[in-house]
Amino acid sequence: MKRTLENINYKEDTELLARFAKALGHPTRIAILKHLENQSCCFTGDLVDVLPLAQSTVSQHLKELKNAGLIQGELKPPKIKYCINQKNWERAKLLFETLFNYDLTNKKY
Amino acid sequence: MKRTLENINYKEDTELLARFAKALGHPTRIAILKHLENQSCCFTGDLVDVLPLAQSTVSQHLKELKNAGLIQGELKPPKIKYCINQKNWERAKLLFETLFNYDLTNKKY
DNA sequence: TAATTCAATCGCAAATTTACGATTAATAAT
DNA sequence: ATTATTAATCGTAAATTTGCGATTGAATTA
């Protein structure tokens, strides 16, 4: 963005939720996460086989999911085993639930 | 993106979920939606007062939320009243739930 | 009719995202 | 020691996103 002289401070939860949402904001990354849910874990190569994208592109998507904290990689040389980061996955789940269930939780009484 | 000669076809739900997630992928837009949940509905001007952003920028964020189907605008000349699009909101909620509750719904038995 | 109000849109600039091929680094196998 | 395998990273290009001020269009009010 341009001319952003001062940064905006949103609530921490808002920032975090947006971060998670942004990471989920690409069909390839949704597909990766769905695959990880099915397989529990998998190697980068498995995903390259499944997705119609170059290895470097898949690697980049994995990096973004990792940076957002949604997945984690474990070294199994020379491969890397990726799994969903359960702790942050639960965190994300709760943040989305809070957003979508606002009416039920806060407006009923 | 570059050199995308053929488009990738993901499942419809995957595409839709990614679309919703992308729209949620900015703290300003999360803030707008939270505000709409609190107020039920509001005018663009209300949001401009609340957010430390230019009117045109807020308008752009509203446009993205509208394009994703998460909100809808109702003409109340010369103002425009924005509300959450309940139908699509529910759709989004379900798609996120399906993603996050995969283990529970599909792996328990 | 003219002035005012509200919000979308335009035009621009900078940053970020998406994608690819090529290269690199690390490890395993020969 | 050399070769092969795996996946990250680099460099590049194009598209998209984010932000702003200025302008426009629509409708209300004076």
Per-residue pLDDT tens digits for A93-103: 999 999 999 86
pLDDT tens digit string along B29-43? 999 999 999 888 898
Residue B106: Cβ within 10 Å count: 11
Q: Residue B109: what pLDDT? A: 42
User: Cβ contact (<8 Å) for B22 and A27?
Assistant: no
Q: For the structural domain made of A12-101, what CATH number should be given?
A: 1.10.10.10
Query: How remote is the C-alpha of B57 from its chain's centroid?
Result: 16
Pair B73, B66: CB distance under 8 Å: yes
H or E element: which one contains B46?
A: helix B44-50
Q: Which CATH number fits domain B14-101: 3.40.50.300, 1.10.10.10, 3.30.360.10, 3.40.50.1240?
A: 1.10.10.10
What token pair was written down for A16?
């975090």
Which nucleotide has the shortest C1'-to-CA distance from A22?
C17
pLDDT tens digit string along B40-94? 889 889 999 999 999 999 999 999 999 999 999 988 777 899 999 999 999 999 9
Q: Residue A94: what pLDDT? A: 97
Pair A69, A62: CB distance under 8 Å: no
Q: How many CA atoms lie within 13 A of B26 on its CB side?
A: 15
Please tell me what DSSP assigns to residue A68: T
pLDDT tens digit string along A68-94? 999 999 887 778 999 999 999 999 999
| Whole-number Å distance between alpha carbons of A57 and B57 | 31
User: Distance (Å) from the C-alpha of residue B75 to the closest C-alpha of chain A?
Assistant: 25
Interface test with B, best of A30, A56, A57 (most B CBs within 10 A): A30
**Could you tell me the distance in Å between the CA of residue B43 and the C1' of nucleotide C21?**
49
